[in-house]
């Protein structure tokens, strides 16, 4: 072997892993991921090939190949056989981005042509996989939207069933102290025995942990197509609580400890206090959103053609505020479903911390949690968050007072900045500190009496 070739190989071995990764044009990791994941240049797939610049290691779970040096990675990506002298030198050439010096063995024209063909075939296969996966994702999304739409369409129209209407009206009265007008039931529908699923049973089928009355609201897009639904399970017998059922599900720890499932045997079972204390079971939320929600809103009362819109995060709070102002005829009342959809994504540079927003640590201490800032993310798509129609001139956003104040204030400021335009007057209404709207308003009504 000539001195030039020896030196060439030594130089290639001295190239750092990260440098080799850059020369081989491995894409940067996706945001928030420690390593690049993608299809393997040899065996395809979607995410089986991983390259970690910082830890200087690469791996393909499909080929069972991997290593810690740039030359091996180059050989894998470029379909070179390092056991052959020519293949090895070609791999060195790739990490150095320099031609093989005179005297070094190199592949023949035919070998090179065959190899480039293999690379192209692998790339085409990866592209096809990506397309298949996207198609599958779209199909899944379409089916999920269809299902969610049917939950609402097939629910009971309360205008044709007064018992159902009374039940929802009683629930909303219990939560807000206001009797809702009939117009609400254009949107809010009921199911008398709606299944609540959590986890899987012994055969891997979705497990029904509860079945009971539910309020179903449609989620509509800005062109008023139904894209999802919002479900609230109700239990008026639980009057001291929030008039919703108390639901329990097996936690991860419980499953690990071999604790039994809590199937719905006629009525939902409550785990023992000891098992609850040990964290084997967790309280389940009594609200769910199905289908698609971002970019949409839940119509509650009135016509969207109105030039005054009033909305907030949750259905009950918006109804409480609407009741307090007398369910105005000139106003369209709506809920965003959740605060993320109301506020929209934040510009990451505007994040901040505050002593009131912390994560509790296992050692008893606390750590400040980053709060998404008041500045909206640039270049948002229309379905990144709720949109307000162009004809609206007055927008009132009712903030939820029962969540953390600073966090909510930042989110509301973001919503206002995001929706701001010259011909729209936006106001944010706050309940008194430490209270939610229904609590504050019931207290005010009690005071008046």
Q: Phi, psi at residue 249, to the nearest 5°?
A: -135, 155
- The least distance separating Zn ion from the CB of residue 23, rounded to whole angstroms, comes to 20
- The least distance separating Zn ion from the CB of residue 36, rounded to whole angstroms, comes to 14
- The least distance separating Zn ion from the CB of residue 49, rounded to whole angstroms, comes to 6
Alpha carbon separation from 336 to 233, 284, 380, 398 (Å, rounded): 18, 21, 17, 11
d(CA 195, CA 139): 24
Whose Cβ is closer to Zn ion: residue 39's or residue 431's? 39
Distance from first CA to last CA of the chain, Å, rounded?
A: 101
d(CA 325, CA 255): 49
Whose Cβ is closer to Zn ion: residue 43's or residue 351's? 43
d(CA 38, CA 53): 14
Whose Cβ is closer to Zn ion: residue 77's or residue 440's? 77
Give the tokens for residue 304: 């969207």
The CA angle 176-182-188, to the nearest 5 degrees, is: 70
Whose Cβ is closer to Zn ion: residue 63's or residue 358's? 63
- The least distance separating Zn ion from the CB of residue 96, rounded to whole angstroms, comes to 24
Q: Give residue number: closest CB to Zn ion.
A: 40
Task: Report residue 400 CA to chain centroid gap.
Answer: 21
Are the C-beta atoms of 173 and 438 separated by less than 8 Å? Answer: no
- The least distance separating Zn ion from the CB of residue 68, rounded to whole angstroms, comes to 17
- The least distance separating Zn ion from the CB of residue 47, rounded to whole angstroms, comes to 11
Binding site for Zn ion (CB under 5 A): 40, 42-43, 60, 62-63
Whose Cβ is closer to Zn ion: residue 49's or residue 333's? 49
Are the C-beta atoms of 346 and 378 separated by less than 8 Å? Answer: no
Whose Cβ is closer to Zn ion: residue 60's or residue 322's? 60
d(CA 428, CA 284): 31
């Amino acid at each position: 072997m000539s001195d030039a070739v020896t030196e060439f190989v030594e130089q290639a071995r001295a190239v750092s892993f990260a440098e080799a990764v850059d020369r081989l044009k491995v894409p940067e990791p996706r945001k928030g991921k420690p390593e690049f994941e993608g299809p393997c240049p040899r065996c395809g797939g979607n995410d089986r090939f991983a390259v970690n610049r910082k830890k200087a290691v690469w791996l393909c779970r499909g080929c069972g190949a991997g290593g810690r040096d740039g030359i091996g990675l180059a050989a894998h990506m470029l379909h070179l056989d390092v056991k052959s002298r020519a293949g090895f030198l070609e791999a060195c050439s790739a990490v150095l981005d320099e031609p093989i010096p005179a005297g070094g063995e190199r592949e023949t024209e035919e070998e090179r042509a065959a190899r480039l063909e293999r690379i192209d075939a692998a790339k085409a296969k990866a592209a096809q996989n990506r397309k298949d996966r996207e198609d599958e994702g779209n199909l899944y999304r379409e089916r999920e939207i269809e299902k969610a739409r049917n939950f609402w369409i097939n629910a009971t129209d309360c205008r044709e069933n007064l018992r159902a209407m009374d039940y929802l009206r009683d629930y909303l009265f219990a939560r807000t102290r206001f009797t809702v007008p009939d117009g609400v039931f254009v949107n809010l529908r009921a199911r008398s025995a709606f299944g609540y699923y959590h986890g899987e049973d012994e055969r891997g089928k979705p497990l029904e942990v509860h079945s009971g009355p539910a309020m179903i609201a449609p989620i509509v897009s800005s062109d008023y197509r139904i894209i999802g639904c919002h479900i609230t399970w109700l239990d008026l017998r639980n009057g001291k609580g929030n008039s919703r059922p108390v639901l329990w599900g097996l936690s991860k720890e419980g499953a690990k400890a071999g604790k039994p499932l809590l199937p719905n045997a006629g009525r939902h079972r409550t785990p023992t206090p000891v098992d609850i204390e040990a964290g084997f079971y967790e309280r389940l939320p009594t609200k769910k959103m199905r289908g698609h929600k971002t970019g949409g809103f839940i119509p509650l009362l009135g016509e969207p053609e109105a030039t005054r819109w009033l909305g907030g995060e949750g259905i009950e709070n918006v109804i409480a505020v609407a009741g307090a102002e007398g369910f105005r005829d000139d106003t369209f009342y709506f809920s965003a479903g959740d605060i993320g959809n109301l506020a929209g994504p934040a510009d990451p540079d505007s994040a901040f911390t505050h002593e009131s927003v912390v994560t509790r640590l296992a050692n008893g201490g606390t750590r400040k949690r980053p709060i998404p800032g008041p500045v909206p993310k640039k270049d948002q798509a229309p379905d990144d968050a709720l949109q307000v129609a162009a004809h609206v001139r007055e927008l009132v956003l009712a903030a939820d007072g029962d969540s953390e104040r600073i966090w909510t204030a930042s989110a509301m400021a973001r919503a206002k900045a995001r929706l701001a335009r010259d011909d729209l007057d936006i106001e944010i209404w706050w309940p008194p500190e430490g209270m939610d709207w229904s609590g504050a308003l019931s207290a005010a009504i009690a005071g008046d009496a």
